Structure 1
Amino acid sequence: MPPRQPIPRKEPRPHTVSIFDNLLFSLSTTLPILIWLIAGLLLRRTKRISDDFIADGNYLVFTWCLPTLLFLNIARAPLTEVWQGDLITYAVLFTLGSIVLLWFLTPQLTRDITSRGVFIQGAFRGNMGIVGLAMVVNAFGASAIPLASLYLAVLTFLYNMASVVVLQLGQGQGVAPLRMLSQMARNPLMIGVVAGVAWSLSGLPMPDLADNTLQGLADLTLPIALLCIGASLRWRSLKGNRLLVLWATLFKLVLLPALAALGGVWLGFRGEQLGILYLMMAAPTAAASFVMARAMTQWGNLAAEIIVITTLFSLFSTTLGLFVLRLTGLI
Structure 2
Amino acid sequence: MFDIIRLILPIYLLIAVGFVLIRIRYIAPADLRGAGRLVIRFFLPLVVFAAVGAGQHDTALHPMLFAAYVGGSLLSYASAYGMAWMAGKDHGVRAFEAMGCSCSNSAFFGLPIVTLVSGPAIAFDIFAMALLVENLIMIPLAVSIIEAESGLTWPKLRKLIFGVLTNPLLVGAVAGLIWKATGLGLPQIALDAIGLMTPVAAPVALLTVGGAVAELSLRTFRWGVVRITLCKLILHPLWVGLMILLLSGMPGDLQIAAIVNASLPMMSVYMLFGIRFRREDVAATALITATALSFVTLSTLLYLLR
Length-normalised TM-score, structure 2: 0.88
Which of 134, 139, 144 aligns to 1:160? It is: 139
Matches within 5 A, 1:308-327: 308-326=288-306
128-137 vs 159-168, greater mean Cα deviation = 159-168
Instruction: For 1:68, give the aligned amino acid.
Output: L
SS of the residue 2:101 aligns to = helix
- Residue by residue over 1:30-80, the C-alpha shift from the partner in whole angstroms, topping out at 9 and shown as x without a partner, is 212111111112222332221111221232122112222221211112565
Q: Read off the aligned partner of 1:149 and give its amino acid letter.
A: F
* Structural mapping, 1:286-297, within 5 Å: 286-295=267-276, 297=277
Q: 1:222 aligns with which of 202, 205, 217?
A: 202
Q: Which residue of 2 is the match for residue 137 of structure 1?
A: 115
Q: Where does 1:1-331 land on structure 2 (aligned, <5 Å)?
A: 23-77=1-55, 83-109=61-87, 111=89, 113-157=91-135, 158-169=137-148, 171-174=149-152, 176=154, 177-234=157-214, 237-268=217-248, 271-295=252-276, 297-326=277-306
8 A contact 2:234–2:263 mirrored in 1: yes
**How many Å apart are 1:278 and its aligned residue?**
1.3
Q: Is the 8 A contact 1:75 1:197 kept in 2?
A: yes
Per-residue deviation at 1:214? 2.2
Give the Å deviation of 1:283: 0.8
Are residues 59 and 323 of structure 1, via their aligned partners in 2, closer, same or farther at CA, if it must alter by over 3 Å? same
**What letter matches 2:102 in structure 1?**
F
Give the Å deviation of 1:203: 2.4
Q: Deviations over 1:130-151 (max 9, x none)?
A: 2122111101222423531332
SS for the counterpart of 1:224 is helix
Aligned partners of 1:60 and 1:235: how far apart in 2?
19
Alignment deviations for residues 264-310 of structure 1 (CA, whole Å, 9 cap, x no partner): 24544663122112111101011022223323x11123222211111
CA–CA separation in structure 2 for the residues paired with 1:107 and 1:144:
37
Q: 1:162 Cα deviation (Å)? A: 2.4
Which residue does 1:7 correspond to in 2? Answer: none
Name which of structure 1's ranges 279-288 and 106-115 shifts more when overlaid on structure 2: 106-115
Q: Take 2:273 and 2:168, find their aligned partners in 1: how far apart are those partners?
A: 15
2:267 alignment partner, SS class: coil
Whole-Å separation in 2 of the counterparts to 1:124 and 1:197: 24
**1:124 partner SS:** coil
Secondary structure of the 2:95 match is: helix
Native 8 Å contact 2:105 2:268 kept in 1: yes
Gaps of 5+ in 1: 1-22, 327-331
In 2, distance between residues paired with 1:113 and 1:185? 27
Aligned mates of 2:205, 2:183 — CA distance in 1: 31
Q: Contact (CA 8 Å) 2:16, 2:210: kept in 1 or not?
A: yes
Q: Which stretches of structure 1, 4 residues or longer, exceed 6 Å deviation after superposition?
A: none
The Cα offsets for residues 229-277 of structure 1, whole Å up to 9 and x where unpaired, read as 1123249721214211111000001122123224424544663122112
Structure 1 residue 223: deviation in Å?
Answer: 0.8
Higher Cα Rg: structure 1 or 2? 1
Residue of structure 2 in register with 1:6 after alignment? none
- Per-residue deviation, residues 183-218 of structure 1 (Å, max 9, x unmatched): 211111221112111221222222233222222234
RMSD between aligned residues: 2.4
Alignment length (residue pairs): 302
In 2, Cα distance between equivalents of 1:126 and 1:236: 19
- Larger mean CA deviation between 47-56 and 106-115 belongs to 106-115
- Cα 1:163–1:222, aligned 2, differ >3 Å: closer, same or farther? farther
| One-letter amino acid of the structure 1 residue matched with residue 189 of structure 2 | L
What secondary structure sits across from 1:172 in the alignment?
A: coil
Structure 1 window deviating more from structure 2 (148-157 vs 184-193): it is 148-157
